[in-house]
A and B are shown apart, each in its own frame.
Chain A
Amino acid sequence: MKYFLLIISLITTSVVAQVNPKLQTKLNQQAKEIETRVIEWRRHLHQNPELSNRETQTAAYIAEHLRKIGLKIQTGVAHTGVVGLLETGKPGPVIALRADMDALPVTERNSLPFASKVKATYNGQETGVMHACGHDSHVAILMGVAEILVKNKAELKGTIKFIFQPAEEGAPADEEGGAELMVKQGVLQNPKVEAIFGLHVSSGTPIGELTYKPGGLLAAADNYSIKVLGRQAHGSTPWMSVDPIVVSAQIINGLQTIISRQTELTREAAVISVGRIQSGIRENIIPEEAFFAGTIRTLDTEMQDIIHEKIKLTATKIAESAGAKAEVTIRRGTPVTYNDPALTHKMVPSLQKAAGADKVYEINAITGAEDFAFYQKEIPGFFFFLGGMSPDMDPAKAPSHHTPDFIIDEAGFVTGVKAMLNLTVDYMFAKK
């Protein structure tokens, strides 16, 4: 029923979209023209990666470009973020376009001539730093988009906010950062943003393709930790103990049944993983407590709440069944990257205009997380993937994100630039 209504609204909006076809053609043409410079910027960024909340040179590089093209800019937003404002002077919506800036503590291993040689200290450890998730591409694409939109300012209306966001990968411990902090510092206010768009390059998707999903695209990532309090005893006399290791094992088994038996998997997928377990120091001592921690991935806020409750119940009651106690702490992290269904359906034609109808398709949800979600919590937003895999790459062998061999085919960037341009102008000129 809901979907049916959506389809109707899709048809109507396509019909009433009022972008001048000439402008559209011009933008796509200019995207093609800026391609070499986008690649150049991306290579510079790739060679100079910086860790989360430490993106000072990256920010300076972006700021310099935005200033040069004549944008009003704001720096030092959420530590190292840069926000550029394009005011057309004509009434219209405020649209935000976002790129993330940070790199990862990974030592690059591919044979690119512009591979990173940067080293830094991460958690007290010396490590290579690498744009192993493609944020360099995101920044370069958005720099190009900004330049083209500024160039065509006279034909646009409303306001465009370019958000260059730090720390998408997570701020260092004890620091705030990323989208959450940007939102907290008011990046969506003044002027108040109406819709936000963002993309992510994908090393496993062929270049030229754009993929998306309405609803939950990327998962909410919450951390939980469970402390099982038992009673210590010698390993030879378990009856004197309340064994927290055996209880933990039972709880871990119990947690599996939350997904397998208690979660409506046809609505959305969900994941509970135990990533760490720690108990005891010696083989013949039954320890007093056990600790384990993991991650919860959900694609629906209601399911997220239900799963949190079930984790608490499962752990505390199984612990009680053996005379132990379980303390469950759940820390909410990045919310679900939820593509507003109405906005998504409205914007799919823009993606098709950028990539061609046969190159745009819906994908399954992904259990990774993305802090773009924090913007979407506030306002309707649309996040999609941009193909970055070379045609000569075997998809089964494409190195995945966050690995030293991660590689992106730059030939896909132009599609990204076009997609962002089309989304912006289509939304701008769509009749309310």
Chain B
Amino acid sequence: MVMKKIALVSFCLLSVTLLSTAQEKTKTTWVDAEAKTLEPKLIELRRYFHESPELSNQEFKTSAKVVDFLKSLGLEVQYPVAKTGVVALLKGGKPGPVVALRADMDGLPITERNGLPFASKVVADFAGQQTGVMHACGHDAHMAMLLIVAEILTKHKAELKGTVKFIFQPAEEGAPANEWPAGAERMVKDGVLKNPNVDAIFGLHIQSLLPSGQIAYRAGGLMASVDGVDIKVKGKGAHGATPWDSVDPIVVAAQIIQGLQTVVSRQTELTKAGAVITIGSMHAGVRRNIIPETATLEGTIRAFDDAMQKKIHEKIKVTAEKIAESAGATAEVNIMVMYPATVNHPELTNKMVPSLIRAAGKENVVVTQPVTMAEDFSFYQREVPGFFFFLGAYPANMNLTAQPTHHTADFMIDEAAMITGVKALVNVTLDYAEGWKK
């Protein structure tokens, strides 16, 4: 079974490479040339977005800028979609598939600290707290790249096969609790993949820990599903001096946390895919000598496979409930299903590898391990074949160990990497349309 899959994959990879050799030369020439020409504009756009970050579902100025830009290209623009999202349609001169390209738009509640001349000074209210706002995950770069891709493709509209749908999505980082569903989930719900129906979707993410200009990809599970788990342990309160009068929810919670470790270590098929259960918050009690009535645990669950995810959810429930019962307590387990795993359609992925190689160079396209971060691009992939990849952006002169990671105040990317991203997105669009059969 496994053998067969490998044979098929390499065969189709080979054929794509052979078939497209002829057109490759010409395409490469103009794609690279256009990208080069537009690079200053690309950087300018990114800096504009970087300086004006907005929180999830608040991307009003951001979307206005996106709308203006797309309208200036003469594209058919739809706004707002899923609160602050923008969707634009580019109809090519030749028949072909509908390809969607997606960029996310939101910044994060982080106060920028990196000393860039275009660092954000924006301040906003987040969950009742005043905070700096920062594009600390690189969504600014995603938007800039996708706008330039739109410009390049619009310019070559006549020779474009099929239709391209540009999706500028809000709230990838998660919307405020009362605004769910949001982001990709809501865009899908609001029909972004319909009318015209999308055949395939592509997206990328800047990666500050990968060398600048490198592209990393993976067929199958690339990024984890993320679900939240809340466990409320209900015991019985008592004076700290008389534990026998209590059902101690703190000790029970500790036992549950230990038990949860065994869900991963003993009960999960780790060779199929990794999995993570992290308890990130534990709260109980107010005073050292009072055994409280309840304890609450909050955690995050990461998985790469739907079936495993489901199984882990069930095992978390059994583990918590039964351990609680073992001590005469009860546990209420509430699992909030959030983002599914970002699973790259294997066939589509392997078909698109040559397009990435043409953009970045053979030596710069690498296969990556799955990462346990999550990405709501997964919601599109549940509906249509999708391919999501990473674009390396850590500056050559930077020490990798000192390189700040995403979601930190010092986060920084090498803007020189963006041109590779532009080329990659244009290439996958053109190549997909080229190889597309009705």
Residue positions of A touching B, CB distance < 8 A:
237-243, 246, 250, 253-254, 257, 260-266, 310, 313-318, 320-323
Contact = CB atoms under 8 A, between A and B. Distances in A.
Interface in B209-265: 242-248, 251, 255, 258-259, 262, 265
A87 B243 CA distance: 54
Interface of B: 242-248, 251, 255, 258-259, 262, 265-271, 315, 318-323, 325-328
A250 B244 CA distance: 21
A257 B255 contact: yes
A320 to B, nearest CB: 5
A330 B244 CA distance: 22
A261 B259 contact: no
A326 to B, nearest CB: 10
12 contacts: A238-B265, A240-B269, A242-B267, A250-B258, A254-B255, A260-B243, A313-B325, A318-B259, A320-B322, A321-B319, A321-B323, A323-B315
The 3 A-B pairs at the shortest CB distance, nearest first, are namely A321-B322, A317-B326, A264-B244
B328 A322 contact: no
Dominant SS at the B interface?
helix
A78 to B, nearest CB: 39
Contacts, number: 87
A317 B325 contact: yes
B251 A257 contact: yes
Contact of B262 (A260, A266, A322): A322
A317 B323 contact: yes
A401 to B, nearest CB: 31
Nearest to A245: B266
B380 to A, nearest CB: 31
A317 B318 CA distance: 10
Contact of A243 (B247, B248, B266, B268): B266
Nearest to A318: B326
B53 to A, nearest CB: 43
B246 to A, nearest CB: 7
A321 B314 CA distance: 11
A262 B326 contact: no
Contacts of B251: 257, 260-261
Nearest to A317: B326
Contacts of A321: 259, 318-323, 326
A238 B319 CA distance: 17
Contact of B328 (A241, A253, A262, A263): A262
Contacts of A317: 322-323, 325-326
Contact of B266 (A246, A261, A262): A246
A243 to B, nearest CB: 5
Contacts of B255: 250, 253-254, 257
Nearest to B331: A321
Given A254-B255, A318-B322, A241 B266 contact: yes
Contact of A314 (B265, B268, B321, B326): B326
B266 A239 contact: yes
B258 A253 contact: yes
